[in-house]
Amino acid sequence: MDLFLNEINSSKQKQLQIVKSNQVVAKHYHNTKLLLKLYNKVLWRINNNFKVIEDECIYSTGKKVDELVNHLLDKEMFVSEARLESRLQSIKDSREIIKLIDKALIMLKSYPDNEERYYWIIFKSYISTEKYTENDIIDFLCCSRATYFREKKKAIATLSTILWGYLIPGLSNEINNIDLIHS
């Protein structure tokens, strides 16, 4: 009887692990798709924010950002340095996210099963500044609509695995190692 109950408990635990695993995969897929949808907006924001900071510096101080930073360091003046630093950090963080996505796309491009096909699906759907319609992409791939949507889902899932299963954990390990060095 105990053996039977243990087997039932073991089976329930395995089912629970599968459900949790599926939830994690779905969350990563959703987050990857969201990152892809935001890619061009973030890229625009990076470029626009730096221009705004540059314009603000010129307007308020008559100096470019690099001149202002050097001036602040020379004079040890910290007028709105925290604000400038915060905005520059935000731009840097956004650039790092873009670089991470770009690195994942390079890895996706060399993915063994579908050569560059997944890359082109993602690139033409989300990354390119030129807007492609679904029909344009379907024509480019020479496939049916159903195949396009099936492969698009697989491409996002593969990119998700590269990002969340390979690059981000590696980045997390690097950050932890840096923290250990500084401790």
pLDDT for the residue numbered 177: 54
Interval 59-107: pLDDT, tens: 666 666 666 566 555 555 555 566 667 777 777 788 888 888 899 999 9
SS3 assignment, position 53? helix
- Token pair listed for 89: 């950090």
pLDDT for the residue numbered 163: 87
Least confident of 64-73, 142-151, 158-167: 64-73
- 92, exposed or middle or buried, with CB in 10 Å at 0-12, 13-18, 19+? exposed
Mean pLDDT of 8-31: 58
Residue 17: pLDDT band (50, 70, 90) is very low
Residue 4: pLDDT band (50, 70, 90) is very low
Least confident of 54-58, 106-110, 138-142, 145-149: 54-58
Q: Output the pTM of the full model.
A: 0.65
- The residue among 91, 88, 105, 96 whose CA lies nearest residue 160 is 105
Which residue did the predictor score with more confidence, 28 or 158? 158
Q: In this model, does residue 16 exceed pLDDT 50? A: no
Interval 27-52: pLDDT, tens: 878 888 888 888 888 887 777 766 66
Q: Say if residues 42 and 98 touch (Cβ distance below 8 Å).
A: yes
- The residue among 46, 41, 40, 58 whose CA lies nearest residue 88 is 46
Q: In this model, does residue 155 exceed pLDDT 60? A: yes
How far is residue 37's CA from residue 79's CA, in Å, rounded to a whole number? 37
Interval 95-114: pLDDT, tens: 888 888 899 999 999 888 77
How far is residue 146's CA from residue 157's CA, in Å, rounded to a whole number? 17
Burial code (b: 16+ CB inside 10 Å, e: under 16) for 104-136 equals bbebbeebeeeeebbbbbbbbbbeeeeebeeee
State the average pLDDT for the chain.
75
Could you count the other beta carbons within 10 Å of the beta carbon of residue 148? 19
pLDDT for the residue numbered 30: 81
How far is residue 62's CA from residue 56's CA, in Å, rounded to a whole number? 9
Rg of the chain's alpha carbons, rounded to an integer? Answer: 23
